[in-house]
Structure 1
Amino acid sequence: MPKLKIIVGTVYGGALDVAEQVSPVFEQAGYDVVIIEQPSVNDLIDEPPDLALFCVSTTGSGDFPGDFVPFVRQLKSQPPSLASLRYGLIALGDSSYGDTFCGSGRALDEILADLGAQRLGERLEIDAMETFMADDAALPWVESWIESQGLGT
């Protein structure tokens, strides 16, 4: 059974809620799913997943959530080759913050690309100003993403 790791960076639990809501969709598609709340680079290197999904909130002025900062620092200070990593990304933000909307998701996407990881499909950006329950946007996106990328078993 292919392994999916959902890597979460959250401030108030919104990104974790999204991860928990989309997990059964991946299980139905044949994945063994693990949700990781305080990730380290080892989660991607020691036992590489067949697929990764990042669910990341943005805080402050486009910043990473506090629990996610050590992971990002590790990616930058000891950059691993992520050439075999295939991933999707769900970024949560608030468009009332203007230019920093979904800033952490966009920054993570850039970091992962620089390390050779391959994003499958487009990044989903969920705007708290438009979508009260983030999973209302995430669930249909995940279903479509699995289908369009041929990820089901």
Structure 2
Amino acid sequence: MRIVILFGSEMGTSETVAESLADELSAHDVSVYDMLDFDPGDLDPADFHIIVVSTYGDGDLPTGAEPFFDLLDATTPDLTGLRFAIFGLGDSVYGDSFNHGGDIAAEKLTALGATQVGDHARHDASTPIRPKDMARDWATTLPIPNSIQPA
């Protein structure tokens, strides 16, 4: 069993956050993947998934996450038993669309039977808090299943 961190980005911040999460969780078996390189058919309910996704444009998924979620929509796999946590990136100056990419990701996964756990992290680029610092703090609060053994 492992922790799988999937990131979808527009300008690279999600990748930086994903790597920070992997560093913080390095006592476990952790793998990091760009959503562009990860087949949704490889989602395994035996793994714990962390989804790191930014928000782009008018509250959309970033270009780096769209193909992954489009394929999920097209194949509609049964994700019952899959547990995931969301770290979203956004900027509150965009009002109602703030961090909507993370909301879309969570809605799509739960609609297929997956279960969101832990606090949905919502980084705000309008604050002085660096995303990777917030990610490290957030990682310590994750309800990682006991069956995931440290590496």
Check whether the contact 1:10–1:57 (CA below 8 A) recurs between aligned residues. Answer: yes
CA distance in 2, matches of 1:21, 1:151: 23
**Which residue is equivalent to 1:75?**
72
Give the Cα–Cα distance (whole angstroms) in 2 for the partners of residues 21 and 118 of structure 1. Answer: 23
Aligned to 2:6: 7
In the other structure, the counterpart of 2:93 is 96
Q: What is the CA deviation profile of residues 89-139 of structure 1, one whole-angstrom value per residue up to 9, with x for unaligned ones? A: 100001101111111100111111111101111210100001452012111
Asked whether the 8 Å contact 1:131–1:137 carries over to 2, the reply is: no
Aligned to 1:22: 21
Match status 1:122 vs 2:135: no
Q: Which runs of 5+ in 2 are unaligned?
A: none
Secondary structure at 1:8's aligned position in 2?
strand
Structure 1 counterpart of 2:21, one-letter code: V
Question: Could you tell me how far 1:150 is from its partner in structure 2?
Answer: 5.4
Instruction: Judge conservation of contact 1:40–1:70 (CA < 8 Å) in 2.
Output: no
Q: Which runs of 4+ in 1 moved over 4 A?
A: 149-152
Q: Shift of residue 144 of structure 1?
A: 1.7
Match of residue 109 from structure 1: 106
| Distance in 1 separating the partners of 2:121 and 2:147 | 17
Query: TM-score, normalised on structure 2?
Result: 0.89
C-alpha contact 1:58 1:102 (8 A) present in aligned 2: yes
Distance 1:42-1:54 versus aligned 2 partners, 3 A rule:
same
CA distance in 2 between partners of 1:100 and 1:82 (Å): 27
Corresponding residue number in structure 1 for 2:40: 41
Any gaps of 5 or more consecutive residues in structure 1? Answer: none
Letter in 2 for 1:122: D
Q: What displacement does 1:26 show?
A: 1.6
Q: CA RMSD in A?
A: 1.8
Task: Report the number of matched residues.
Answer: 147
2:150 matches 1:139: no
